Structure 1
């Protein structure tokens, strides 16, 4: 599976096909037609297994007599190995197909599959890439079959967002209004300031006004009503 080779090519694969960490082989099926050469890197797991093969062995896979397999002989041996492992559904060609499916599902393109498996047209490679895309689309879309469990639930509204400049502008307006009410620039000096207990301001203006009159050591009771703050200040000299 890590070579992507057909059974006939795996049967003749040997050290003569290795070159600087790569497998270089001209597949027998297309040798007389396209003559394409397959070059694939040797993956670490495969390299570890190939290193265990005796150096004098002509091919990596040999019979019990130390001879290279024929195509049919290797196919029969693969059937025996799969059955002994309890993998009755597996076969030699199934390993090649499994490799192509895994590569496509991992994102391999049609051209990349052609380079690995020695295909000269996109027809076979496209079968695997389309199947991989369909599988991914189905995986992403299956959750859409579930009913929306939140459709009958009320969604709480978020807290209103108040920008800093909004607060500063409101604070400035309150200061100006307070100055007018208490005889400041543009205020009603003839009537004098309106008693503090009859005025309603926001928390910012109330704190500033209380601090300026009674100092920080004395305070009144503030009750928030309808978004405004009414201050009842009892002053004891």
Structure 2
């Protein structure tokens, strides 16, 4: 399924992939750039990023590779996964039930994200120019875990796998994410100015060198749009 976009940016995610398993449905936004006859190269982002983090690399490497970009469920342009009725965890008290329901809704379960990535990966395989082509994969942060699970558990075979500052063995997670997980509604209710301040501080702390204002605004944009706080 393909949607159109009037913008000329080659990295705009103008393709849509849908997937369902026994508990959830997913809508993944993606795009590809470069000659389809060139070797495939897939970039996978981590938390709290989106495919925008790869834009300069994708544009440069698209001269020698057929580059794929996508947003994981609940990140950037891809909406949150949708749980089917009967899959939500509840408890006996009303207050706790509401909190756990919301936490479950926002839970970016990495096993499920790995399964979705594997399905997306396999949907691309048929497009590759030669039947024996394998993709090069570049993974950052928790995408390291995703790419490894896709390979080991879901049969995705790569030409190479480049892991950058990855999260693959638990326990892991920033203290900020733990606070957000415990109080998701309070986090969503933060004033926009406070939310943007936390977001910019996190991005700045993760960068090896100071980022230009243009790059900072590009990385913040998916989270500052309407519904961005909740991954909508």
TM-score w.r.t. length of structure 2? 0.20
- Structure whose residues are more often helix by fraction: 1
Q: Highest Rg: 1 or 2?
A: 1
Give 1 or 2: higher strand fraction.
2
Q: Which has the higher contact order (CA 8 A, sep 6+)?
A: 2
